[in-house]
Structure 1
Amino acid sequence: MGTPLGDFIRARRDSIQPDSLGLPDHGRRRSPGLRRSDLAARAGISVEYLTRIEQGRDRNPSTAVINALADALSLSPSERDHLRYVAKITGGECSAHERPAAPHRDVRPSVMETLRLLEPGIAVVTNRLGDILARTSGYEMLMDGTGLLEGDTPNLTRHVFTDPGARTFFADWDDVADEQAFDLWLAPSVENSEWFTAELAPVAGPDFTRRLNRHVVPRRGVLRINHPSGHELRLLRETLELSTDAQQLLVLLPADEETARNIDRLRSRPSGRLRALS
């Protein structure tokens, strides 16, 4: 049985062409990418040990080994962070027989005050499962007509993968889907993520499940939106991690003057008010 650590290392190894690391191409092989023997040699570990890690038979490699693998795979800083994270949760994995408690939905008063100061800007507080916990009127304006905010417990991840309209609303739907699936690795707890994944997979289908173990760190570039009003929006994203709460505050800003004008047009319509969902 695989582990998050083994899956990530194998996925990165399969994505690397030997010539990109100055290694000779040994011709046809059974799988794409870097040979296990080449990676082991670059990391200074045995092939047998690397095999145990990739297959989940060794769940607690040392920090030195993790760093050596990061160097051998030429990981970017964000990919190194993810490698350390999956190594941590792999070492601490346990099987849960009962559904874990849901992550708390309360937003601290100081965070709510920050949202108020951001009005009428576009801002939202979420957790890594995609639960929308609080938002400004600007965010309600942005999502008006999408169906995302309907119901008592709106969830962006579920919306992206199960609402057909999301594929039109998000101009780069594939990138947004990659981001939402990747963020499940950073959910309030491993157990929460596993239960959410198990519930979402049957209704979301292969577009969701094939992304779960890819471990491709998203680029999170400009967010392009086809708003139901007919306006095209390009938005920059600034994220503040609320680590003590396992939440994040996301602020969306116009990426160009045309987007700023279109947002002003949207704001000229009747707007909502700041809302927190507990």
Structure 2
Amino acid sequence: MEDATPSRTALGVARMRALHQFSPQAGLFRDPYAVTILGEAAPSAQELEQEDERRRRMRLFVAARARFAEDWLAAAVRRGVRQLVVLGAGLDTFSLRNPYPDLSVFEVDHPATQAWKRKCIADSGLAEPAATRFVPVDFERQSLSAELAAAGLQSTTPSFFIWLGVVPYLTKEAIFKTLSWIAGIPGSEVVFDYSEPAENRDSAAQAALAFHAARVASVGEPWISFFVPTELTKSLGELGFDEIEDIESGDIAARFSKAPKGMTNTSGGHLIRARRTA
């Protein structure tokens, strides 16, 4: 992504979330603002007819990871967490849907993408949420902790971090620097997704990886970081996280009593939750 250009993949994810609202599986993740915030770029219901199986599975994974993240956030709020940080927010609409009056929301994204998101909100006739603070940060060049502190985040108070659709695009150095900082805040929790390297996959999953990797690379936003699950879990433990849950995309269906048909073997990705309890 160029410095002055908003993320093309963020737009793609936003369109999948919007298209999902028209699908038979919409109950998996309801987002009443997903279509509105896109304005003229919003998909129509007819686009569902053009989905091939790979795109359908990726759409379901995108919807499911958002559902999981917000379910885990709800549990954190019940425990008393009152700060949410959305890393690489794109056109995520949680701040517009925030049902928790006492939850402060910090949206972090690349400056160009965040400026685009705020314009989308204004062009849609929506008001920026009063409880949300927009924090422009380039993960590879700026200090996340410093920028969030300047925006008012209380670094000694537990926070919940949602980091979806971002990790594969960052260097491992930037990823672990962020995770190390989060792990240094007792009681904090992070949810993020990642992909396994090609050599860890079967032939079908390798084909899916090649397909999706080629698409994001074609818009100048290649996937550059992959992780082996056991090694990542070990690294998270070494950072200080002591409660770790890793869900393969193929296992997501089992977590919902009315899971959409065909969610198994979706994208070869993983969704992971890591919390430092003490």
TM-score (norm 1): 0.31
TM-score (norm 2): 0.31
